[in-house]
């Protein structure tokens, strides 16, 4: 365990930034893949998508070797093991985000929200996002409302149902401080699922590049153990994400090479 990780800050404020969770070099390799495979060059505005906002900023990549090199990095696992109090963890197979500077006509950032029913106190979940490049407070990065994390009475009793039938747990943050969290390449931001959060508008001149990745105790629902393994073998993303634009495809690269730690994080080998 690593006693430099401020678990108390996560417990008291609902979020935590861990500096240099992985070497910046690993982040740079993933950034290079986003350019070579998707044409997304951080320094070339001509390569940026014509429209951005919401799900359009998510890049459909989930099983590349450079992503697994981050997931199975020993320090990265130690951070999550410290937060959960156990080494026996599985890892999510999430994707990346590329958010260019905001332009006229772009969709507004998704409102501050909870990803799940915030009144379900039996749920245990930590979420995470890794900065792939340096991200300033006005660059479209993570923001949150810690005062509402500490106020169960402010949580909505029911979701807003959109036209597609999805539940949306929006946050009314008027009168509360909204905290932007800048990060350097390689920094990990972790938050408790009961913390209202969201991405800010990118008002800078540079895109934001990030990688969503989380770990959670092994041995949960069966699909958590089997769907990632099948995704690793087949190159298709887990069924949960296949409705997103560009996600119902097979990745063109072979299954990533896994270390003994990576095999346990995927669920191939037992802890």
pLDDT per position as a tens digit, 35-74 = 999 999 999 999 999 888 878 899 999 999 999 999 999 9
**Which tens digit of pLDDT belongs to each residue from 212-253?**
999 999 986 655 668 999 999 999 999 989 988 899 999 999
Q: Within 10 A of 99 (CB to CB), how many other CB atoms are there?
A: 27
pLDDT of residue 268: 94
179, 146 Cβ separation under 8 angstroms: yes
pLDDT of residue 221: 62
Domain 7-266 has CATH 3.30.470.20: no
181, 15 Cβ separation under 8 angstroms: yes
- Whether the pLDDT of residue 86 is over 60: the answer is yes
Helix segments in 85-235, DSSP class H = 146-149, 222-234
Say how far apart CA 195 and CA 144 lie, in whole Å.
Answer: 7
**Which tens digit of pLDDT belongs to each residue from 106-136?**
888 889 999 888 888 778 899 999 999 999 9
The reported pTM is 0.94
pLDDT of residue 179: 97
Cα dihedral sign, 49-113-127-3: positive
Backbone angles phi, psi at 113, to 5 degrees: -160, 170
């Amino acid at each position: 365990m690593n006693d430099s990780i401020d678990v108390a800050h996560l417990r008291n404020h609902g979020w935590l930034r861990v500096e240099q969770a992985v070497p910046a070099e690993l982040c740079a390799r993933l950034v290079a893949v986003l350019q070579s495979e998707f044409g997304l060059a951080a320094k070339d505005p001509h390569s940026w998508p014509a429209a951005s906002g919401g799900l359009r900023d998510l890049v459909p990549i989930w099983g590349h070797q450079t992503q697994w090199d981050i997931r199975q990095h020993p320090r990265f696992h130690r951070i999550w093991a410290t937060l959960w109090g156990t080494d026996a963890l599985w890892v999510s197979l999430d994707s990346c985000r590329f958010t260019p500077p905001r332009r006229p006509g772009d969709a507004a950032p998704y409102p501050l929200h909870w990803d799940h029913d915030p009144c379900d106190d039996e749920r245990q979940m930590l979420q995470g996002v890794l900065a792939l490049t340096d991200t300033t407070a006005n660059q479209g990065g993570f923001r949150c409302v810690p005062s509402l994390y500490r106020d169960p009475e402010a949580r909505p009793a029911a979701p807003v149902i959109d036209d597609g039938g999805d539940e949306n747990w929006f946050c009314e943050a008027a009168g509360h401080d909204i905290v932007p969290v800048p990060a350097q390449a390689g920094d990990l931001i972790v938050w408790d699922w009961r913390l209202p959060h969201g991405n800010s508008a990118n008002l800078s001149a540079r895109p934001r590049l990030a990688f969503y990745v989380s770990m959670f105790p092994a041995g949960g629902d069966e699909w958590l153990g089997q769907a990632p393994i099948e995704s690793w073998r087949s190159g298709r993303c887990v069924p949960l994400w296949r409705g997103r634009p560009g996600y119902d495809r097979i990745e063109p690269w072979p299954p990533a090479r896994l270390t003994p730690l990576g095999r346990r994080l995927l669920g191939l080998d037992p802890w």
